[in-house]
Amino acid sequence: MGRFSGLDVVRHHLRELVHLCKDLFIFLGAHTVGRPPPPRRYQEEHAPEGRVEPAYEARDVVEIADIVFSHGRIDLYRDALEGAVERLDAYRGVAAVFLDARLGPCLQRLDFAGKGVDARFDAGGRIARVAPSGSIDASGIRVLDGAGEYLVPGLIDLHAHIWDDASLLSWLHNGVTTVRDIASQRVKTADLRNIVEAGGREGPRIVYAGAMFHHGGGYSTLGNQMVSDAGDIARGVAINAGMGAAYTKERGFQGWERAATVVREAHRYGMPVSGHCGHILAVVAAGIDGAEHVLDCFRDRGTMRGDYVALARASGEWIVPTAALRLSMVRVMDDPALLQADDVAPFLQPQYRPVYGTDAAAQRGRPALLAAVQRLEAGVRRYHDAGVLVAAGTDSPFPLGVQHELEALVESGFSPAEALVAATGAAARVLNAPEIGTIAPGQWADLLLLSANPLDDIRHVRRIHEVIQGGRVIDRERLRRDGVR
């Protein structure tokens, strides 16, 4: 059999693209990238000027590939999803008001913080007003009684992988109203983000990253971009940017000079960059924005060196620990009933259940898992004590991943208030999304109403009474019915 030509490879990837994602509206040509909706606030730039040829994988072309969406987000879906526009209007056209909920003092600088408050949403799904209890006229508006309960911003998971559609229901049911997706299905996830934004599907707001970058030979996949030189990197970043990516993950730091090139190229498109090794000097000098995981760099995994914290603080890097990846396994071993809980059982996919074992074999692995969690927490404590921005992300398919991540932060020395901010206001800072993460007029009405005070015990974040996304009260019972059966 003869060798495939470069054109054959391009044709193969384009056929795969069409087959996997029929409903995704992608245009190959010279148009402007248009991704205006929040929470993504990245700098929209054109790819480098010049005539380009369409391609899908960066390694398969020699010129910059420009993959672009149409401007009309609503028009885009008018034909693709029957009734989607009507559903969008129904979702975002609800005015509501909370009466007499308590607002945590760490979450909003208001004279009446910590006392009873009312919060009114406008028809566009944003918070119109926050005021002392009894001061908002609720006539003619749907009223949600929050007396004796606690109002906090919707949670944010900064290290999510949309491996399956059930994850969308799980996150929303358990109070996660925004996720930053990292290197799952480049085409499918972009499509899914659009559908959620258009109101055609339940799910959290998706901040999309596209494929993550690895260095060396081999073919790229839908979730992994293989690069071997600066040209590969420029094309790969341009493809991600053209598909609306708001963030870039660098995975393989073995070639630090290429990792630094990824950082510089992504910054040209206004996309922040993070990865497993946020302390390599050349990459820090290039301006890497943050580090994913703690103690998970290929060359010194598990070792916390004294200059890591100083580098992060001096450079302004943020840290996303992902302790929940292992902590959830420990929690299930210690309490097997978790697997049958209403906020877990309907959403944990069968293929992930073996990961959360409770038998004798699993218990034998518990000491090593717990030791890994404790090492990570010790590292997080050092970052926290030094004033480095730490924000919540899980890297976990477990439905209570964010809740367990917050528990790990408290075990690392955070107060419950600081841990809650890590999954709300601090996470919004990482996303450069000032319209989410706090409770204030003009913010998206992404909110949780809790039946117990999370500032007394961070585990109370699990005691959810209502989830509100964009001013719309989520039917959590229906999400449970629609979950895994």
Instruction: Say which amino acid occupies 61.
Output: V
Domains in the chain, number: 1
* d(C-alpha 66, C-alpha 181), whole Å: 22
Q: Cα dihedral angle (9, 13, 15, 17), rounded to 10 degrees?
A: -170
List the beta strands (DSSP E) in 80-122.
96-103, 116-121
Give the domain range for residue 290.
1-485
- Dihedral class, residue 302 (left if φ above 0, else alpha if ψ from -120 to 50, else beta): left
In this prediction, residue 277 carries a pLDDT of: 82
Distance CA 200, CA 1 (A): 46
Per-residue confidence (pLDDT) for residue 73, from 0 to 100: 25
Pairwise CA distance, residues 45 & 380, whole Å: 35
Least confident of 37-41, 310-314, 334-338: 37-41
Q: Other C-beta atoms within 10 Å of 42: how many? A: 20
What is the helix, strand, coil percentage profile of the chain, to 5?
Answer: 40, 15, 45
Across residues 4-8, what is the average pLDDT?
48
Amino acid, single-letter form, for residue 193: R
Q: Record the pTM.
A: 0.78
Domain harbouring 326, CATH code: 3.20.20.140
What integer pLDDT is reported at residue 485 of this predicted model? 54
Q: Read off φ and ψ for residue 131, nearest 5 degrees.
A: -150, 165
Q: How confident is the model at residue 299 (pLDDT cuts 50, 70, 90)?
A: low
Tell me which of 135-139, 171-175, 405-409 is least confident.
Answer: 135-139
* Cα 356–chain centre separation: 23
**Rounded to whole angstroms, how far apart are CA atoms 267 and 257?**
16
- Are 296 and 277 in contact by the 8 Å Cβ rule? The answer is no
Residues 30 and 49: their CA atoms lie apart, in Å, by 9
**Please, which residues bridge with residue 466 across strands?**
449
Summarize pLDDT for 230-289 with one digit per residue, the tens: 999 999 899 889 889 999 998 876 678 888 999 999 999 999 999 888 888 888 999 999
- Residue 114 pLDDT > 60, yes or no? no
CB 298 within 8 A of CB 249: no
